[in-house]
Amino acid sequence: MPKTLRLDPDRLFPSDPETRACARTLYKIVADLPIVSPHGHVDPLILVENTPFADPAQLFLRYDHYVTRVLHAAGFGLGELGIPTLLGGDVADPREAWRIFCSNWLLFAGTASGYWLQHEFVDLFGITEHPCEDNADALYDQIIAALQTEAFRPRALFESFGIDVLATTDDPMDDLAAHAALRADPSFTGRVVPTFRPDNYLNPATPGWSDRVAALAAWNGTAAADYDGYLGALAGRRRYFVEHGAVSSDHGVTQPFAADLSHERAAQLFAEALAGRLDAEGARIFSGHMLLESARMSLEDGLVMTVHAGIVRNHDSGTFERFGPDTGHDIPVATSYVESLRPLLERYGNDPSLHLVLFAVDETVYSRELAPLAGYYPAVYIGAPWWFLDAPDAVLRFRAATTETAGFYRGSGFIDDTRAFLSIPARHDMSRRLDASFLARLVREGRIDRQSAEQIIYDLVAVVPRKVFKL
Amino acid sequence: MPKTLRLDPDRLFPSDPETRACARTLYKIVADLPIVSPHGHVDPLILVENTPFADPAQLFLRYDHYVTRVLHAAGFGLGELGIPTLLGGDVADPREAWRIFCSNWLLFAGTASGYWLQHEFVDLFGITEHPCEDNADALYDQIIAALQTEAFRPRALFESFGIDVLATTDDPMDDLAAHAALRADPSFTGRVVPTFRPDNYLNPATPGWSDRVAALAAWNGTAAADYDGYLGALAGRRRYFVEHGAVSSDHGVTQPFAADLSHERAAQLFAEALAGRLDAEGARIFSGHMLLESARMSLEDGLVMTVHAGIVRNHDSGTFERFGPDTGHDIPVATSYVESLRPLLERYGNDPSLHLVLFAVDETVYSRELAPLAGYYPAVYIGAPWWFLDAPDAVLRFRAATTETAGFYRGSGFIDDTRAFLSIPARHDMSRRLDASFLARLVREGRIDRQSAEQIIYDLVAVVPRKVFKL
Amino acid sequence: MPKTLRLDPDRLFPSDPETRACARTLYKIVADLPIVSPHGHVDPLILVENTPFADPAQLFLRYDHYVTRVLHAAGFGLGELGIPTLLGGDVADPREAWRIFCSNWLLFAGTASGYWLQHEFVDLFGITEHPCEDNADALYDQIIAALQTEAFRPRALFESFGIDVLATTDDPMDDLAAHAALRADPSFTGRVVPTFRPDNYLNPATPGWSDRVAALAAWNGTAAADYDGYLGALAGRRRYFVEHGAVSSDHGVTQPFAADLSHERAAQLFAEALAGRLDAEGARIFSGHMLLESARMSLEDGLVMTVHAGIVRNHDSGTFERFGPDTGHDIPVATSYVESLRPLLERYGNDPSLHLVLFAVDETVYSRELAPLAGYYPAVYIGAPWWFLDAPDAVLRFRAATTETAGFYRGSGFIDDTRAFLSIPARHDMSRRLDASFLARLVREGRIDRQSAEQIIYDLVAVVPRKVFKL
């Protein structure tokens, strides 16, 4: 008989009864507050088109590389799990992929993905049994039936989830038609904002960079080889994003690195890059200069600047070639922000109108670098635990590692950073429970009084993300 | 009056009563299961010869550099502690060494060694007082009397400990006569398997490398300078080990590093090394290539591949010269696996028949590198907390750092990695208690249901190590 | 209405009732023991002159960059907070600075500074309300009135704080007149000892190094260019410090690094440095050699050697130019001690008469490097959690990371390292509570018996710091 699946109303609260009672009280203050999601990867088209989600495999597996990587590690091929190859060919039967997932449910025990999925299964679909081989087909049918109902249409979920703001992540040359359509549609009242993600336009080492530079120039009416035109085009596209509601630009870099070049030197590297003569070190320096230039543009147009650093993307080249990016083998590495970002911080770090949010997957930087930097520079905010660290124990480690140096008001607020639309409420609920747990411990240890804790948890959920992301 | 020494039946369980009760229940499931020890350093001769252990000093101090290093730090010379110098000369009176140990028992409070020793003293010898200056001689006599009894002969202990499998660590040219003798002996029914440890044959920078290459060649009937013969000899010795029951090869490297050289380039470096013309960087690259070659051989002969990385051996050269290796001054350093092992993982990481177990003493890699790698590559398993990290709080940090990304089924299972034969039950018991404690917290926090926790703890002890080590 | 400010008598104790009761018992053993402060930055002149402290802003903000950096991060300029610029000009009204601080009290919730300030406000000044905008002026008046009383004179506080020993930090050429005056004054019975801090005399890369070398030479009656004279002068100044009561020399370096040069090579680098021809790498090597020479001198004159490593000083150059050092933007970086200190440890690490205390702000080195080094070398002691890590959760992480390898007797004992005189009792009390909490958990988990825990906590407070600092 399959095991019972349920949600403990006290889940994630500390075990000590008195601390738990305090956590419960604190959680109640924020449990039902609207969701602010200032950075994520949901495709805005699902809200424009509002068509029902296809099936459980596509919904829970295909786009969630947190989930597929666990099954891949257990020996299943990505193809079996319903991920199409770039070479074309048949895609696995979603029902078969779903069976693999259900039969291996125990592998997700204790993982962040398992926690969110359990929340979604119980809370959204009323599932009461652990997925397993025996009930896989029944669960598939149950979920697919729900997905056909009006209540499970994307817009209905957006509303029932209580989402106040949802940010997407977009290519700088995207016409943002989906965002425009949503804003123009009187039947949709949610706020969906684009995010300017220019990495591929700033780093000459990315394949196709010169084509993208040419596209920028064409849009701008300048020559591709004109460095000032390039800067102007970037600033212009940023303005276009601002006009379409964007509040931030996002920078994904392997190592955080800023360089402060003269205009002449930068223009020279730009020319060499276009001529295909720039080596790896030159590309690194030019990219670093463009990070600094992005900060300068931020001070002009007000876009919040988020930096996601420390990930080696597409570690498994063979899989990347067959299945593309975001297939589960992006691996963190040691990161350092102190000397490498210094040129940017020395120039702009003392300006409170710049909001520079630094995200990390190397948790050693929390106490060593990010809290001390954010505890001094008014421009620096500590990004919420990201990616692999977006999980209960890791979040509590993050709070413990940063609060004693930087307090509660130098963080970004919770960021779900997900493309798994249905997981958004589970993730924000998790974060609120963990904030309640952390604060309750400090109350119980006599380090914060209860009244202050009540104010802090409200601020963490309702005030901080809006302030940091200028919402 | 000496303080009372006892074992708390609830030791290592969390303090919260409800969580503690759950931990107790989970622990009971595995408390008496047989011991699987797939990697360690017990000398097989003690089982072949089955002679009584000599005395407490030799048993608990001389071969346990965890213990002698603590006394060395307190200012006692290794000679005083009964460790013979390589230069010969008198060895200290074991009774004197034992007195030093007993008089300094408080130095072990809170250490892993202290925890295991307390377990052994109480559980095996029925000692009821803290060791101290006053009772040192009496304890010495009490232990030596016990060691003379039949019940304390190595084979009797092997049986009473409930050891199912015990792996030793052996030189590739070892004739494995001890293992053969044990298998041939109908009066000994335990399973003792050798482990292929080829570092000194793969790394041209180790003193005596060319002599060992010559020995390999002589055994193989090929010329020492023949690179293909060298590869063939290694493969042959691995087969010899497999025939004698080996299930794994073990690779101890300062930094984990794999290189993927052409056959021609590798042969050239091999020739330069034999000619004494290979510099440090060349030796590093050739060693890295041989790590990759070892993985290739693993795919052929099925040997599990364990990598123990991140230790600077013999930090104190003067002591090394006088007392040899394994005398307490091997010190961990920062380690990185992501880019450095990439050539190996890109080539073989997706093959589930390769079992590559990565051990670390730099705990920052748990959440940052090892869990993400093992959470994607089917070949990669996360080694249990090793060496300095094989201790209660460190083990719980390990679980917290890896589980949220990789779950419970990508670890190696517990490894005692010890040459201290009498400590084996204490170490496995510690691990089982900590697994129970970790799981109980997750149950209490509503993250895992109790039924799943019961299955997981059973799997962690009885299933996972057998699966990972192909036992 | 402002929130009530109070001190929980059970603050910092674990939440589980049984563990908490044990912690309370352990804490009582040490709660009222005298304070031993073997490293800090209090100005001895405040004790010589014994004049009342000026006002709350100067007392709590101006000299405490832990506090001003939090307000700076919130967007307030250092000038607004009452810090004078090096360029001269008006200093902000202290009452205005105090208002900013009180209005932003919530920013300190959960921080170490907030914890200490709360202790001081309640315990020293009897404040019963959270500071806020409304009560800022009243609190200012209340504190300033107290500061005028005899009980708040520096010497009276020194006595009521129960300070047994207080170390200051001093320039090698300081005449130590303040220390001499205190020792000569029969009305002051406290022990205040200087500390030899020679960084600026050892590192040719520090501005003004050659002038300081010249000053040393002039004092010594040798030529500035005489390397042996330079060594002799340093040894002479160390003796001068010893004669004035010093027990330690302190070495603040960005990276811990020792080099073992020949006398000839060192003399050559010294000459090049004086001639302004030494590059950065040469300066690094010469400094490393002088660290080793300092250890050699320590063996002669008995000074304990403390190394504070891993901080990039004055990260924000613009602020440094306007406001000077110690203004909140010293930022930690990753540090490594294993290979970099090896030359020193190989030479002197086995001599128990050398006391080398290694402090870190990169907490990854606790379990990886410092505990293993101090768990072997008799000369090495693990510095107490320093700077950003001198906070409740960080201290418990430190204990958990080091104890299992090195036990309780290889640490330095608590170091307050503060220039905030009034915070000394709060800091030592915090440390004692945390030791009680950590030990109580180990008692409750059956890892240490209560009697041993009672002895250990007494030793940690009363014995260890005196032994390590030869007091």
Q: Flag if A336 and C333 touch (Cβ within 8 Å).
A: yes
Query: CA-CA distance, A308 to A250, in Å (whole number)?
Result: 7
Q: What's the rounded mean pLDDT across residues C3-22?
A: 97
Nearest-angstrom CA–CA distance, C460 and C398 = 14
A253 DSSP β-pair partners? A309
Residues of chain C with Cβ-Cβ distance to A405 below 8 Å are 111-112, 388, 391
Q: Give me the percent of chain A exceeding a pLDDT of 70.
A: 100
Look at residue A124 in the predicted model and tell me its pLDDT.
97
Residue of A nearest to C4 (CA): A449
Phi, psi of A49 (to 5 degrees): -80, -30
Write phi, then psi, for C162 (nearest 5 degrees).
70, 40
Q: How confident is the model at residue C412 (pLDDT cuts 50, 70, 90)?
A: very high
> Are the C-beta atoms of B156 and B462 separated by less than 8 Å?
no
Spacing of C-alpha C431 from chain mean position:
14
Q: What's the DSSP call for residue B149?
A: S
Tokens matching residue C217: 């030479």
Residues in chain A, total:
471
Contact residues on chain C for B364, CB-CB shorter than 8 A: 364, 368
> Do C330 and C308 contact (CB within 8 A), yes or no?
no
Task: Report whether B439 contacts B451 (CB < 8 A).
Answer: no
> Hey, is the C-beta of B412 within 8 angstroms of any chain A C-beta?
no
Q: Please give the residue of chain A at the shortest CA–CA distance from C365.
A: A364
> How long is chain C?
471
Provide, as residue numbers in chain C, all residues whose Cβ is less than 8 Å from the Cβ of A255.
Answer: none
Residue C196 pairs in a beta bridge with C170, C249
Structure tokens at A210: 């010169």
Residues of A in contact with C109 (CB under 8 A): 407-408, 448, 452, 456
Distance between CA atoms of residues A49 and C110, nearest Å? 46
Q: In whole angstroms, how far apart are CA B29 and each of A406, B105, B443, C38?
A: 44, 33, 16, 51
Chain A residue whose CA is closest to C77? A350
Query: In CATH, what class is C52-152?
Result: mainly alpha
CB contact under 8 Å between B372 and A332, yes or no, is yes
Both tokens of residue B214? 């010559």
Question: Does A376 contact C109 at a Cβ distance shorter than 8 Å?
Answer: no
**Residues C114-152, buried b or exposed e (16+ Cβ, 10 A)?**
bbbbbbbbeebbebebbbbeebbeebbebbbebbeeeeb
| A80-94, B203-217, B351-365, C66-80: range with lowest mean pLDDT | A80-94
d(CA C34, CA C163): 6
Q: Does C130 touch chain A (CB under 8 A)?
A: yes
Beta strands A356-360; A304-309: pairing state: parallel
| B352 contact residues in A (CB cutoff 8 A) | 75
> CA-based Rg of chain B, rounded to a whole angstrom?
23
- Find the mean pLDDT for residues A284-299: 98
| Residue B88 confidence (pLDDT) | 86
What residue in A sits closest to C7 (Cα-Cα)?
Answer: A446
**What average pLDDT does range C335-355 have in this prediction?**
97
Tokens of C21: 């009761």
* Residue whose C-alpha is closest to residue B201's, from B167, B235, B224, B234: B234
Q: CB of A86 within 8 Å of any CB in chain B?
A: no
The distance from CA A88 to its chain's CA centroid, rounded to whole angstroms, is 29
Q: Which pLDDT score is estimated for B2?
A: 83
Q: What is the dihedral of CA B130, B131, B134, B136, to 10 degrees?
A: 150
Task: Kindly give the residue spans of alpha helices, DSSP state H, lying in B148-262.
Answer: 154-160, 177-184, 199-202, 209-220, 227-243
Q: ∠ CA(C302), CA(C303), CA(C305), 5° rounding?
A: 125
Residues composing chain B: 471
Q: Does C103 touch chain A (CB under 8 A)?
A: no
Rounded distance, CA A59 to CA B347, Å? 31
Residues 342-371 of A with CB under 8 A from B: 361-364
Q: Which uninterrupted H or E stretch holds B142? A: helix B136-147
A230 closest CA partner among A204, A207, A258, A201: A201
Structure tokens at A437: 């747990």
Does the CB of C313 have a partner CB in chain A at under 8 Å?
Answer: no
In the prediction, which pLDDT does C172 show? 98
Q: How confident is the model at residue C63 (pLDDT cuts 50, 70, 90)?
A: confident
Give chains near A: 3+ CB pairs under 8 A. B, C
Alpha-helix residue ranges (DSSP H) falling in B50-111: 56-57, 65-73, 94-103
pLDDT for B210: 97
Q: Confirm or reject contact between B16 and chain A (CB < 8 A).
A: yes
First to last CA, chain A: 49
Q: Would the CB atoms of C446 and B331 count as touching at under 8 Å?
A: no
Distance CA C402, CA B106 (A): 16
Q: Residues of chain C with pLDDT > 90: what percent?
A: 98
Q: Under a CB-based contact definition with an 8 Å cutoff, are residues C147 and C153 in contact?
A: no
CA dihedral C201, C204, C205, C208 (to 10 degrees): 60
Q: How far apart are CA B327 and CA C369, in angstroms?
A: 17
- Cβ contacts (< 8 Å) between C370 and chain B: which residues? none
- CATH assignment, C17-51+153-468: 3.20.20.140
**Cα(B444)–Cα(B23) distance, rounded to whole angstroms?**
10
Q: What is the residue extent of each domain of chain C? A: 17-51+153-468, 52-152
**B428 touches C: beta carbon within 8 Å:** no
The rounded average pLDDT for each run of 10 residues, N- to C-terminus, in chain B (471 residues) is 93 97 98 98 97 94 92 97 90 95 98 98 98 98 98 98 98 98 95 98 96 97 96 98 98 96 98 97 98 98 98 96 95 97 98 98 98 98 97 98 98 96 97 98 98 98 98 95
Lookup: tokens for C294: 């300092």
pLDDT at residue A1 greater than cutoff 80: no
Q: A112-125: b or e for each residue (b if 16 or more CB lie within 10 Å)?
A: bbbbbbbbbbeebb
- A313–chain B Cβ distance below 8 A for any pair: no
Spatial separation of the C-alpha atoms in residues A229 and A235, rounded to whole Å: 10
Chain C partners within 8 Å of B12 (Cβ): 445-447
* Distance from C-alpha of A232 to C-alpha of B396, rounded to nearest angstrom: 53
Q: Do B315 and C352 touch (CB under 8 A)?
A: no
Three-state secondary-structure class, residue A96: helix
Which among C3, C13, C391 has the least Cβ separation from residue A404?
Answer: C391
Contact in structure between C110 and A403 (CB atoms under 8 Å): yes
Q: How far apart are CA B369 and CA B376, in angstroms?
A: 11
Q: Which residue of A has its CA nearest to C107?
A: A407
**Dihedral angle of Cα A163, A169, A174, A176, to the nearest 10 degrees:** 10
Among candidate residues C394, C387, C396, C391, the one with its CA nearest the CA of residue C436: C396
Mean pLDDT of C440-460: 98
Of all residues in chain B, the one with the smallest CA distance to A72 is: B376
Any idea which fold A53-150 has?
A: uronate isomerase, domain 2, chain A (1.10.2020)
Q: Tell me how far apart the alpha carbons of residues B153 and B64 are, in angstroms, rounded to a whole number.
A: 19
The average pLDDT across C143-160 equals 97
Mean pLDDT of all residues in C275-303: 97
**Band (A89; pLDDT cuts 50, 70, 90):** confident
User: What is residue B308's three-state secondary structure?
Assistant: strand
Beta bridge partners of A311: A332
Q: Could you give the CA distance from residue C112 to residue A407 in angstroms, rounded to a whole number?
A: 9
pLDDT at A336 over 90: yes
Q: What is the pLDDT of residues B257-285, one digit of tens each?
A: 999 999 999 999 999 999 999 999 999 99
**Residue A2 predicted with pLDDT over 90:** no
Phi, psi for C339 (deg, rounded to 5): -80, -35
Determine contact: C75 vs chain B, CB below 8 A.
Answer: no
Judged by a CB distance cut-off of 8 A, whether residue C128 touches chain A is no
Q: How many CB pairs under 8 A join B and C?
A: 145
Contacts (Cβ under 8 Å, ≥6 apart) of C76: C100, C104
Distance from CA of B5 to the nearest CA of C (A): 8
Residue B328: its pLDDT value, please?
Answer: 96
**Model pTM?**
0.98
How far is C-alpha C303 from the chain's CA centre?
A: 17
Q: Are strands C331-332 and C311-312 parallel, antiparallel or unpaired?
A: antiparallel
Question: Subunits touching B (CB < 8 Å, at least 3 pairs)?
Answer: A, C
Helix (H, G, I), strand (E, B) or coil at B361: coil
The three state secondary structure string of chain C is CCCECCCCCCCCCCCCHHHHHHHHHHHHHHCCCCEEECCCCCCCHHHHHCCCCCCHHHHHHHCCHHHHHHHHHCCCCCCCCCCCCCCCCCCCCHHHHHHHHHHCHHHHCCCHHHHHHHHHHHHHHCCCECCCCCCHHHHHHHHHHHHCCHHHCHHHHHHHCCEEEEECCECCCCCCHHHHHHHHCCCCCCEEECEECCHHHHCCCCCCHHHHHHHHHHHHCCCCCCHHHHHHHHHHHHHHHHHCCCCEEEEEECCCCCCCCCHHHHHHHHHHHHCCCCCHHHHHHHHHHHHHHHHHHHHHHCCEEEEEECEECCCCHHHHHHHCCCCCCCEECCCCCCCCCHHHHHHHCCCCCCCEEEEECCCCHHHHHHHHHHCCCCCEEECCCCHHHCCHHHHHHHHHHHHHHHCCCCECCCCCCCCCHHHHHHHHHHHHHHHHHHHHHHHHCCCCCHHHHHHHHHHHHHHHHHHHCCC
Q: Which residues pair with A306 in a beta bridge?
A: A250, A357
Q: Give the CATH number of domain A155-468.
A: 3.20.20.140
**Which tens digits make up the pLDDT trace of C101-112?**
999 999 999 999
